Amino acid sequence: MSRRPFAPPRPAATTVPDDTGCTVLHVDMDAFYASATLLSRPDLVGTPVIVGGGHRGVVLSATYEARRFGVTSAMPMSRARRLCPQATVLRPDHDLYARISAAVMETFRSVTPRVQPLSLDEAFLDVSGASRSHGSPAAIGRLLRDTVHDEQGITCSVGVAPSLVVAKLASTLAKPDGMLVVPREEVLPFLHELPVGALWGVGERTEEALVRLGLHTVADLAHTPRATLERALGPATGGHLHDLAWGRDPRRVEREQRERSIGSSTTFESDLDDAVLIRRHLLALAERTAARMRAAGLTGRTLTLTVRFSDFTTITRSRTLRDPVDTARALHASAVGLLDALALQRARVRLVGVRMSGLVPVAQAPLQGVLGEREHGWRDADRAVDRARARFGADVVRPASLVQRDPSASAGAPRDLS
């Protein structure tokens, strides 16, 4: 079943809502990947734009103008083009997204140390200790929105509430480019007007099960006996949703958790059986993944290669390295080694992906020098490339093997695997 949009009436804006005790903020960038991509194409602002690529790739993001035609993230590009043929399609720039995300998260940490990123473009903040220096929770929300816009050129929406689940729902209702405060005494009226599918953690299957029980709104859910929900959904899920329906959410903002993995994948325009071309695609993926690791200040030891064949059979192979790495050369060498070990023998390949896990901050696991490597080696070269790309654009420096034929040009949109 399709998930229904929800938009209950917002509190009247004639007076400032009482934000006493609303110490949880959920900040969500508006159409982040599309907005960041448009920074270099201001002429396209206000028009339908899809970030992705290829006929067999998927949509990474779309502007609100394209979303009005039904285009959504993760939708096949072929369908998105049919729904909105007038849209401009732009290739993603994951290095740019990582840089902007790092700067935004640093802005959050300048207000409070209790920041819990959920992805590159959203995070929870606990501002209970920030009022003395930054003002009320609503004032902090306004400060963050203004700072992100002024420094990064993109907008964000903020939910201010007493709990995580209500703050996240509020930021969704505030989109785009808005802020919604849900006072403590209005939590239950706010929640009970929502459809059950709006609750954080209710997926399509859970929503279908609830609708079969005749439960369409959060109010319906709240007034259903807990035992009934536990029998229908299981003790853990049923009890958890019953608590959320009554505004009971004991979870707290956890301090920043490091990413568990970073990676990218490419779906080819047409299936490939040429090992040389596949290795070239792996080099582009290794470049992108290593750059994201360095931007995040991380290094990793375990590389996972994903290969999907023309019949959609998918296999993965992993290799754990002796020392942590963050260079494209090291990632590519490991990925090619795993690919060669598969002995594909002209098998037709639809998708390849590279992912690094076992991530730790560079400061906690200093990278070991390679025996025989010059003092200024591959890591220094990669960092010099990072600086050049940050100043002049992602395509200013590329490996020679990618210059004559750019694999990503025909490969579809790289997809974030983290």
Q: Are residues 201 and 312 in the same domain?
A: no
Identify whether 84 is part of a domain.
no
| 259 catalytic per annotation | no
In whole angstroms, give the CA distance from residue 396 to residue 386.
Answer: 10
Q: Report, in angstroms and rounded to the nearest whole number, the Rg of the chain calculated over CA atoms.
A: 23
DSSP string, 219-254: HHHHTS-HHHHHHHH-HHHHHHHHHHHTT-----PP
**pLDDT the model gives residue 369:** 44
Identify whether 121 is part of a domain.
no
Q: Are residues 404 and 277 in the same domain?
A: yes
Q: Which residues pair with 315 in a beta bridge?
A: 307
Q: Per residue in 342-356, pLDDT tens?
A: 888 778 899 999 999
The pairing of beta strand 298-309 with beta strand 179-181: unpaired
| Strand (E) or helix (H) holding 325 | strand 314-325
All residue ranges of the chain with pLDDT < 50 are: 1-14, 367-376, 396-397, 400, 405-418
Identify whether 237 is part of a domain.
yes
Identify whether 166 is part of a domain.
no
In whole angstroms, give the CA distance from residue 149 to residue 30.
Answer: 11
In whole angstroms, give the CA distance from residue 390 to residue 103.
Answer: 13
CATH code (residue 204): 1.10.150.20
Q: Are residues 336 and 407 in the same domain?
A: yes
Q: State residue 269 phi and psi, 5-degree precision.
A: -60, -40
Structural domains in the chain (count): 2
Q: Identify the CA nearest to 49 among candidates 101, 84, 78, 82.
A: 84
**pLDDT the model gives residue 157:** 97
Q: Are residues 286 and 356 in the same domain?
A: yes
Identify whether 254 is part of a domain.
no
Is 121 known as a binding-site position? Answer: yes
Q: Are residues 268 and 411 in the same domain?
A: yes
**pLDDT the model gives residue 363:** 66
**pLDDT the model gives residue 10:** 44
Q: Which residues pair with 89 in a beta bridge?
A: 50
**pLDDT the model gives residue 42:** 94
**pLDDT the model gives residue 383:** 59
Angstrom distances, CA of residue 44 to CA of 50, 119, 413? 11, 26, 19
**pLDDT the model gives residue 386:** 55
**pLDDT the model gives residue 415:** 40
Structural domain for 369, as ranges = 261-416
Is 386 known as a binding-site position? Answer: no
Identify whether 364 is part of a domain.
yes
Q: Are residues 277 and 325 in the same domain?
A: yes
Q: Identify the CA nearest to 256 among candidates 100, 130, 119.
A: 119
Q: Are residues 325 and 353 in the same domain?
A: yes
Q: Are residues 280 and 405 in the same domain?
A: yes
Identify whether 255 is part of a domain.
no
Q: Are residues 299 and 202 in the same domain?
A: no
Q: Are residues 305 and 332 in the same domain?
A: yes
At 127, is the secondary structure helix, strand, or coil? coil
Query: Which of 122, 204, 208, 254 is the catalytic position?
Result: 122
Q: Are residues 327 and 231 in the same domain?
A: no
**pLDDT the model gives residue 375:** 39
In whole angstroms, give the CA distance from residue 415 to residue 396.
Answer: 22
Q: Do 272 and 336 touch, CB atoms closer than 8 A?
A: no
Q: Are residues 266 and 236 in the same domain?
A: no
Identify whether 204 is part of a domain.
yes
CATH code (residue 361): 3.30.1490.100
Last residue of a domain, one of 219, 245, 271: 245
